Amino acid sequence: MVLTIKTFIATMKINGTYPYRKFFLFYTIMSVIVSISGVLTTHITGEISKAALGFDKDVIFNFLFIMALIFVIKALASGASTFFLGRHKGKIEYGFKKNFARHFLYLPFSQFEKKNSGEALSIFANDLPPAINFVTDGSLRMISDIITQKSDKVYTNQLGA
């Protein structure tokens, strides 16, 4: 796991995405907020059910207010992370394509005699977009999923204790 993270950071440095570490930190914090708000919503839903059994209107309204506040916080965090993800995805995509084009332009002419002329274009059109999607969408979604899984596990363990 540590080797994978080191490799990912080294790849970010090579591809020029290392300056986006603040964005990755921001996205991780927003993922934590969204994940914790999901767990709190589940917990409060259970508490509302308990209060409904006792017909305690004041407690129910207090929990509904807290739940609405959590939904607003979750929506703002999710919206901010989606907005900044779209913004930085374009920058990262441009960086990848610029690095590929720079590499392609500095290849010696003898390299082109050995290979088909369409090979580089094929790599640019077919292989580069999945790599970009992995770095921008896949890795960030993986971080978000891990955070959600861990927060759900902590909440479930707390229920069992």
> Does the residue 70 lie in any domain?
yes
The DSSP H or E segment spanning 142 is helix 139-160
Instruction: Indicate if the pLDDT at residue 15 is higher than 50.
Output: yes
> Does the residue 46 lie in any domain?
yes
CATH number, domain containing residue 66? 1.20.1560.10
> Does the residue 58 lie in any domain?
yes
Question: Which of 37-41, 58-62, 116-120, 135-139 is least confident?
Answer: 116-120
> Does the residue 103 lie in any domain?
yes
Average pLDDT of the residues of the chain: 76
What's the CA gap between 161 and 153, in Å, rounded?
12
Question: Which of 1-5, 50-54, 118-122, 128-132 is least confident?
Answer: 1-5
Instruction: Indicate if the pLDDT at residue 31 is higher than 80.
Output: yes
- Cα-Cα-Cα-Cα dihedral sign, residues 110, 113, 117, 122: negative
> Does the residue 94 lie in any domain?
yes
> Does the residue 124 lie in any domain?
yes
Instruction: Indicate if the pLDDT at residue 47 is higher than 70.
Output: yes
What's the CA gap between 84 and 100, in Å, rounded?
24
Buried b (16+ CB within 10 A) or exposed e, 120-145: beeeeeeebeebbeebbeebbeeebe
Domain with 147 in it = 21-153
Q: How many structural domains compose the chain?
A: 1
Diameter of the chain by CA atoms? Answer: 82
pTM of the model: 0.63
> Does the residue 108 lie in any domain?
yes
Q: Which amino acid is residue 132, in one-letter code?
A: I
What's the CA gap between 72 and 52, in Å, rounded?
23
Q: Check if the beta carbon of residue 73 is closer than 8 Å to that of residue 36.
A: no
Instruction: Indicate if the pLDDT at residue 143 is higher than 70.
Output: yes
Instruction: Indicate if the pLDDT at residue 76 is higher than 80.
Output: yes
What pLDDT was estimated at residue 1? Answer: 42
> Does the residue 136 lie in any domain?
yes
Residue of 110 and 19 predicted with greater confidence: 110
Instruction: Indicate if the pLDDT at residue 51 is higher than 50.
Output: yes
Q: Could you count the other beta carbons within 10 Å of the beta carbon of residue 90? A: 10
What pLDDT was estimated at residue 6? Answer: 60
Q: Could you count the other beta carbons within 10 Å of the beta carbon of residue 83? A: 10
